[in-house]
Amino acid sequence: MQIQRTIKYEADRVRGFAEEIMSLAGCDRLKSCIQCGTCLSHVPA
């Protein structure tokens, strides 16, 4: 499986996206994520 990247440049980012997600209930620790995969059993696909 190959990862397809859709954002190539900083200017293509949606500014404020992370803050919008962190404003949702239970998502306030988004910036502390180190992508270790531990939470995958708790997050439905």
Q: What is the pLDDT of residue 23?
A: 92
pLDDT in tens, 12-45: 888 888 899 889 888 888 888 877 777 666 655 5
SS3 for 30?
Answer: helix
Q: At residue 7, does pLDDT exceed 70?
A: yes
Residues 23, 27: Cα–Cα separation, whole Å: 7
Q: What is the pLDDT of residue 8?
A: 78
Residues 11, 3: Cα–Cα separation, whole Å: 21
